Amino acid sequence: MPDLQQHLHLLQRRCRKAELASIIVFEGWSACGKGKVINRLTERLEPRGFSLHNIVAPRTHEKRMPWLGRFWSKIPKWGEMAIFDGSWYRRVLLEELENKLTDAEYQTAFNDIRSFENALADDRYLLVKFFLHINKKTQKKRLKKLESDPLTEWRVQEKDWRQHRRYDRYLLVIEDMLRLTDAGSAPWVIVEAKNQRWARVKVLESLCDHLERGLQKFEPKDNNGSK
């Protein structure tokens, strides 16, 4: 883990020098461990070089603008990194399950997302999207454990149990999301998150790999063709 964290720190510096911006998206089941993974990922990063956005439901004034507008305002500058704990995918993952979207709005949301991500990928942005997956049994066990501790019980809300009860329906929406928005310029990485240490290692390894490949295109080369 320390070696991966150090490697990621060096890649962050190289991205800044090459003016390659990166956008890291985290989605997953309730109690899948996104927060712990993000903590490890950012532990040794240069704080001035990244921003972390915890995405919640749109506020009143945000409902009176194009729905992707609030995400455009969070896009990092070239050379910087933005990490999203939750993202624009909440529109299809949550609003669809709450029956707030018509079929037409559901499909339009996916079209909007693809256009949004394509526009970023065409303009010096590297996108990597992680989905942390756990099964229904593991989710129930973790939710109960969080509820049993006075220090963490606040983290479990009715919406988390509602997702658990609708696990199979939620899974269908997730499969739709992965199928319709996985692209070479904005890939999904599915992380098996039942083992939390495994999940952290896989995220760090995958992110380092994607940054290395992204830098191949943007790092300047010397006269001998080497970087």
Walk along the chain (227 residues) and give the pLDDT tens digit of each residue: 999 999 999 999 999 999 999 999 999 999 999 999 999 999 999 999 999 999 988 888 888 889 999 999 999 999 999 999 999 999 888 887 777 788 898 899 999 999 999 999 999 999 999 999 999 999 999 999 999 999 999 999 999 999 999 999 999 999 999 999 999 999 999 999 999 999 999 999 999 999 999 999 887 765 455 55
Token representation of residue 121: 């990928």
The answer to whether residue 221 is domain-embedded is no
- 142 falls within a domain: yes
Instruction: Encode burial over 52-72: b for 16+ CB neighbours within 10 A, e otherwise.
Output: ebebeeeeeeeeeeebeebbe
Q: Is residue 220 one of the residues assigned to a domain?
A: no
| CATH (domain of 184) | 3.40.50.300
What sign does the dihedral 51-56-59-64 (CA atoms) show? positive
Residue among 67, 66, 76, 88 nearest 45 (CA) = 76
Residues in Cβ contact with 31 at an 8 Å cutoff, skipping those fewer than 6 apart:
134, 139, 142, 143, 146, 156, 160
In a domain, 224, yes or no: no
Query: Is residue 225 a part of any domain in this protein?
Result: no
Flag whether 226 is in a domain: no
What's residue 44's pLDDT? 95
How far apart (Å, rounded) are the C-alpha atoms in residues 142 and 33?
Answer: 9
User: Considering its fold, how many domains does the chain have in total?
Assistant: 1
Which residue from 130, 134, 128 is spatially nearest to 192, judged by alpha carbons?
A: 134
* Residue 50 CB partners (closer than 8 Å, separation 6+): 12, 42, 76, 80, 81, 82, 83
Residue 48 within a domain: yes
Domain that holds residue 166: 2-215
pLDDT at 222: 56
Which tokens in the block code for residue 99? 């029956």
Whether residue 223 is contained in a domain is answered as: no
Task: Output the six-digit token pair for 140.
Answer: 């129930």
